[in-house]
Amino acid sequence: MLDVASLTSSLHSPRYTSFSPLPWQRAPWRDKSFRLLLTGAAGGGKSRLAGEKVHGFMLKYPGSTGIVGRKDRTAAMRSVVPLLRYTVMGNTRWGKFLKSDGLFEYNNGSHLWVAGVKDEGQREALRSIGKDGSADIQWWEEANKLTEEDEGEITARQRGNTAGWRQLIYTTNPDVPTHHIYVKMILGGQASVYYSRPEDNPFNPPDYLDALQNLTGVLRQRLWEGKWVQAEGIIFSAYDTAKHLLQVPPKIQFDSRLICSVDFGFTNPFSWSLWYIDNDSRMYQIVQIYKTKTLVEDHAKEIRRTLQQLEVPIQRIEAWVCDHDAEDRATLEKHLGIRTRPAFKEVTPGLEAVNSRYNRDALFLNANAVENVDEELERAYKPLCTADEVPGYVWSDKKQDTPVKENDHGCDEKRYAVAYVDKLHISTPIRVETKARIQNYISTRTGGS
């Protein structure tokens, strides 16, 4: 059997850019385990090591088949492919990249495919990779986005024998301690696990390290400290990803109720979702736009395009429930030809209604709701959709019954939608302070009579 350490002999040929493993990378570089998990805090060099190892394998073993991917193949084309082409491979004479096929075609007959498992189409494409649907080595980035079903699909491909050994490499930052990766691969010992920290990578600039250290809450624990932890004081305690986060939402029925909810933002994310309400009043998120630095009029164009793709006429939308910003509402109305309504914004009854729906399995998010990910948010390790916000959406320890006002834009928008469907604007009693304001207003207008 050939030793993985012998891959190093290829590193200084004209076909390969120079790569010297960092101290923590040396052991996983040589590790021949069937399943290899690279985890820990952000910035340790997990992805670079995985890319170098896959590329070295392709060069060392002619005619081998490799796969690199993420949950969504489009995301892999946007992140994994540039890392391989411009950082790992550089200007070397290894072969060529066929963008239309998502294929790295090596001069020695090796093939490295870009894949995803987001939907049945991507899964079917994965199954057809290689001569017999098998692979010798795979690397899957952002592995915490993969479900157990995805992992099973990926593992089924891992039966190549070009090198006499084969390997699945997963790279991921920590997630919740109930995640199947933590439970099975770390606690269950189903993978060789290697941890890294930002300080382990001397190429990290000081301002990047400062940014990670200045994170707060669960994000700091995961991305700076490298811990698989659950946020304390989580608000949606009844939320269960196994039940309430769907990989594929139900198809919209002809006679179904449809509403849209909006939380406006520019520096912070603008969040818009289309919700489907079935005959049992269960709510399903169908699609979402979650994006920063974009004008409302441009969001309106994207909303129109998205609805057209779903074959949903704008006039079929029962209600457009929006944050209260008058100018943004007017802009949305103008460019879509609609009438919006202000959302019911009382926080406590709204959150209670959302949790009630999770308790009775009547509210579902779409794991693949966002088609065009905000790359700036992704680089900053911030949520990319409502589902990403939920695990870190917690109560403030400074003000009672108040959520922390951070990374909450999708959760606010979801609350507006639930409040509308559950008719909180009708059923919730007027609070005492609200009554006082009304009475004061009436007294002012009538001179106290």
Q: Look at residue 427 in the predicted model and tell me its pLDDT.
A: 64
φ/ψ (deg, to 5) at 245: -115, 105
CA angle 365, 366, 368 (to 5 degrees): 150
Chain-wide mean pLDDT for the chain?
90
Residue in the structure block whose two tokens are 């093939």: 111
Q: Look at residue 256 in the predicted model and tell me its pLDDT.
A: 87
Q: Look at residue 213 in the predicted model and tell me its pLDDT.
A: 92
With 90 as the cut, is the pLDDT of residue 5 above it?
Answer: no
Which band of pLDDT confidence, cut at 50, 70 and 90, is reported for residue 441?
A: very low
Which band of pLDDT confidence, cut at 50, 70 and 90, is reported for residue 231?
A: confident
Q: Look at residue 8 in the predicted model and tell me its pLDDT.
A: 42
Q: Look at residue 362 in the predicted model and tell me its pLDDT.
A: 98
With 80 as the cut, is the pLDDT of residue 300 above it?
Answer: yes
Q: Look at residue 218 in the predicted model and tell me its pLDDT.
A: 86
Question: What is d(CA 144, CA 229) in angstroms, rounded to the nearest whole number?
Answer: 13
Q: Look at residue 315 in the predicted model and tell me its pLDDT.
A: 95
Q: Look at residue 428 in the predicted model and tell me its pLDDT.
A: 55
pLDDT digits (tens, 9 = 90+) for 215-225: 888 889 999 99
Q: Look at residue 3 in the predicted model and tell me its pLDDT.
A: 46
CA 266 to chain centre: 20
- Residue 429 neighbours by CB under 8 Å, 6+ apart: none
Q: Look at residue 217 in the predicted model and tell me its pLDDT.
A: 82
Q: Look at residue 435 in the predicted model and tell me its pLDDT.
A: 42
φ/ψ (deg, to 5) at 377: -65, -40
With 90 as the cut, is the pLDDT of residue 102 above it?
Answer: yes
Which band of pLDDT confidence, cut at 50, 70 and 90, is reported for residue 348?
A: very high
Which band of pLDDT confidence, cut at 50, 70 and 90, is reported for residue 15?
A: very low
Q: How many percent of the chain have pLDDT more than 70?
A: 91
* CATH for the stretch 241-427: 3.30.420.280
Least confident of 28-42, 76-90, 418-432: 418-432
With 70 as the cut, is the pLDDT of residue 125 above it?
Answer: yes
State both tokens at 353. Answer: 């209604």
CATH class of 4-223: alpha beta
pLDDT digits (tens, 9 = 90+) for 391-436: 889 998 888 788 999 999 999 999 999 999 999 988 655 444 444 4
Q: Look at residue 379 in the predicted model and tell me its pLDDT.
A: 84
Which band of pLDDT confidence, cut at 50, 70 and 90, is reported for residue 17?
A: low
- Residue 141 neighbours by CB under 8 Å, 6+ apart: 47, 50, 68, 69, 70, 76, 79, 80, 171, 172
With 90 as the cut, is the pLDDT of residue 114 above it?
Answer: yes
Domain boundaries, the chain: 4-223, 241-427
Which band of pLDDT confidence, cut at 50, 70 and 90, is reported for residue 101?
A: very high
Ordered alpha helix ranges (H), 295-402:
296-309, 326-336, 347-359, 375-379, 386-389
Q: Look at residue 92 in the predicted model and tell me its pLDDT.
A: 85
Provide the residue type at 78 as one letter. R
Q: Look at residue 13 in the predicted model and tell me its pLDDT.
A: 43
